[in-house]
Structure 1
């Protein structure tokens, strides 16, 4: 297991921990919907709201096959499948994440339209032009070779297909305060700058349709999360389930990182030329 996968792997039994937290919160697992899991499986800044923006940008139909590079616990994949009827293949480096994602899809009745496989987002092994759309959310910060990531997305995407990148970028305000939800320190953290992204995506072959900076909204989102944690403690089912005791410090650091413009959150909507 490499350093990145090790960072995201909890001390044990993540499926059981999430199930116990749901039970403790009084959630009926026989009636579980993807939105019920959003506090833990929409593991990205601005949560489910950001996923809904990505769905709109991808312009999916029930016939679409979508590739999620770095699929985590599968929250975005399930939301896409539930709301559009599409099918999603998720690829993630962390075996436990794929196990949990599979279990949560079973709990929500979406195992028929979502599947998760352990793999490298820069070399998935999937066939050329096999996906109608692709996305990656908060993944490239852990990947030093970003050209390989975007080249792989281009290879697997059919001509005319859309690719959405929603990521944390290096801001102009200085080095990132650690720990953060994607890294304990700079040894596994490689956020690109906006200028680098504007070169990387076209160099992989994509047309960039739009870029949207949501950094101000991200700051408000983290401020509200931090205030709630300070007021009430962590919610029963949240990212803290696998991030552990550093979760509150990570949240505080993210408030500082965004307020000081050390990081930015930007969504790029791209297309592979027809």
Structure 2
């Protein structure tokens, strides 16, 4: 297990922990929908709202096969599958995340349209030109060789396939204040700048069609999250389940990082040329 995977691996028992949290929230697993899980399995900044923007940018159909690079607990994959009818293959470095993602897909009745496998997002081993679309959400911050990540997405996509990157980028306001949800310190944090991204994606072969900066919305999202935590504590179903006691400090630091422009949240939509 490498340093990044260790950071994301909690004390174990994530499935049972999430199950207990669902019980505490009064949610019945027999009628569970992906939206019920979004506070825990869509743990990127702005959560489900950002996932819906990704869906719009990918332009999926029921017949689409989608690759999710760094799929985490599978929240975006399940939302894509439920709302568009597509099938999704998720690849993640953390084995426990893949196990939990598989269980959550079974609970929500989406096991037939989502599958998760342990692997390296920069070298998935999947066949060339077999995916209609691909996404990566808050993953590249932990990957130093970003060209390898984007080149792998390009390789697996069919010509004309869409690729969406939604990531935290380095801002102009100075060094990131740690800990943050993707790293305890700078040793596993490798943030690109927006300018870097405008070079990295075309260097991998992609044509960029849009670039949307959501940093202001992200700041409001974290401010509201921090206020809720300070008033009521973390909600029962939340990604604090694996970030542990540092979760509150991470949220507070993200408010500072966004307010002082130390980080940006940006979504790039691009495609592999025909």
Q: Please tell me the TM-score bracket, short chain as reference.
A: over 0.9
Q: For 1:160, what is the secondary structure of its paired residue? A: strand
2:228 paired with 1:216: no
> Counterpart in 2 of 1:62?
62
> In the alignment, what sits opposite 2:137?
137
**Secondary structure of 1:61's aligned partner:** coil
CA drift of 1:12 comes to 1.2
Distance 1:19 1:262 in 2: 36
Query: In 2, distance between residues paired with 1:48 and 1:24?
Result: 21
In the TM superposition, what whole-angstrom CA distance separates every residue of 1:130-177 from its partner, at most 9, and x where no partner exists? Answer: 100000000000000000000000000000010000000000000000
Q: CA deviation at 1:25?
A: 1.4
Unaligned runs of 5+ in 1: none
1:243 equivalent in structure 2: 243
Runs of 4+ in 1 over 3 A off after TM superposition: none
Displacement, 1:245? 0.1
State how far apart, in whole Å, the 1-side matches of 2:103 and 2:264 are.
33
Aligned to 2:88: 88
Count of matched residue pairs = 274
Q: Is the counterpart of residue 193 in structure 1 residue 182 in structure 2?
A: no
- The equivalent of 2:111 in structure 1 is 111
Structure 2: distance between partners of 1:248 and 1:15: 22
TM-score, scaled relative to structure 2: 1.00
Equivalent-residue separation in structure 2 for 1:212 and 1:69 (angstroms) = 20
1:203 is matched with which residue?
203
- Once the two structures are superposed, residues 13-42 of structure 1 have per-residue CA deviations (whole angstroms, 9 ceiling, x without a partner) of 000100011111111111000000000000
What pairs up with 1:1-274 in 2 under 5 angstroms? Answer: 1-274=1-274
1:67-103 deviation digits (Å, cap 9, x = unpaired): 0000000000000000000000000000000000000
Instruction: Report SS of the residue matched to 1:68.
Output: strand
**What residue ranges of structure 2 are gaps of 5+ in the alignment?**
none
Tell me, what secondary structure is at the counterpart of 1:174? coil
SS, match of residue 109 in structure 2: coil
Q: For each residue in 1:92-128, what CA deviation from the matched residue of structure 2 results, as whole angstroms up to 9, or x when unmatched?
A: 0000000000000000000000000000000000000
> Using the alignment, how far apart are the partners of 2:273 and 2:61 within structure 1?
20
Q: What is the SS of the residue equivalent to 1:243?
A: helix
CA distance, structure 1, for counterparts of residue 24 and residue 157 of structure 2: 42
TM-score, length basis structure 1: 1.00
**Aligned-partner SS, 2:230:** helix
